[in-house]
Structure 1
Amino acid sequence: MAFKSKIEWTESSWNPVTGCTKESLGCQNCYAERLAKRLKNMGLKKYENGFKVTIHPKSLNEPLNWKKPQIIFVVSMGDLFHKDVPDDFIEKVFEVMNNAYWHTFQVLTKRSERLLEISKKVKWTDNIWAGVTVEHEKYLYRLDHLKKIPAKIKFVSMEPLLSDMPYIDFDGIDWVVVGGESGPGARPIEPNWVRNIRNMCLEQDIHFFFKQWGGFNKKKNGRILDGRTWDDMPKINTKIERLPV
């Protein structure tokens, strides 16, 4: 059975790697770090190391046992491309994604340099989406790395959005997700920051998804922008010739 996710832009999560270290401004109030510590305190063996980077070989083949096609967020509780994750383990993760052809995998990282480096060693089948987080304008260079990845679908997560953005050339990018920070200590997001990105996406015919306004009570603040929700995303391959038995 797949691990259902509450994240609006995916369906399930798969964590063959857990744990991380802070990489950039968006990491300040990391939700995964809070959750990992909570799970450790609950006695879950998988999180006995808390938020220390840990590989989980026993979790590698989980998607192969999920027969219903899923959109799967890969390593929602860490970063697959952290320096402490061995190259050969990342390659094994990709081999599983290659073999689990009936699923769609969303691979997201802040470590775009290593993503680009590893991308030359793995096979990017059409069911693997490549994404980078760009939470502040100072990290726009990550888009340059992403554009060089040979993935069929490339996406950008601007969450938590922490600054306004200059004009961005999204050529080669398929999807943009924007969201405000949530939880304790959440930093504010400005509506015009979101509108600016949305307008760039509309102008360039890029799929745009607005996840949330965030804040301490994200449910109360909701995800309505200018009177409506924005849930556009690339099409999933629903015409799979054969399914696993």
Structure 2
Amino acid sequence: MNNTKGTLYLIPTRLGDNPPLEVLPISIKKVIEDLDYYIVENEKTARRFIKRISPSKSQPTLKLQVLNKYTTEAERNTYLNSCLEGISIGLLSEAGCPAIADPGAEIVKLAHQMDIKVVPLVGPSSILLALMGSGMNGQSFTFNGYLPIDKSERKAKLKTLERLSSEHNQAQIFIETPYRNMKMLEDLADTLHPNTNVCVACDLTLPTEFIKTKSASEWKHNKEDLHKRPSIFIIQKD
């Protein structure tokens, strides 16, 4: 067996269907051209992405392992075995950066346990891009993932996040299933204090990109259609 372990490369992908090298550095292309082993969320979209980045790369030589909610712990624990044999592996997200609001975090944790070198590569993170464009506190912030679906529980959570944002001068970031974006914005406008700042960052890095921070009361008059458009929401009460 090769005593030199391979490396786990964390490879960012696009946030939408724009030309890859408009939003990704050339280093991504170089790494993909060197790798044949990948851990991915969806084989079809991963192959399409790799082909867009490196059209000349042989697809039949690619060895893809699928990591999603159906992957068992026993399966996942074998995914880095090739690294132990000296073969480097790329971890691909479906959108944005691996391991950030992404199941790849478990693979990265496993790599550290197996003393495998981890190399995160530069690429777009919708969470950080939204925070950058929000005007809210970039020194102290929390990503909360998805909020409860139940209406009363969601409103209670929003009030809790609003209170935390005020007490700690902290931006509170969260996401929603795209087809519920408009309902989320309605709840934000109806539930939060009228002066609480609310940022909506939508279609980041795409031609249809929309980023706007307004008070909760101002969002009551929203005319932007967010339906089925990937969005990040950030709130902060002064």
TM-score by length of 2: 0.36
Which gives a bigger RCO, structure 1 or 2 (Cα 8 Å, sep 6+)?
Answer: 2
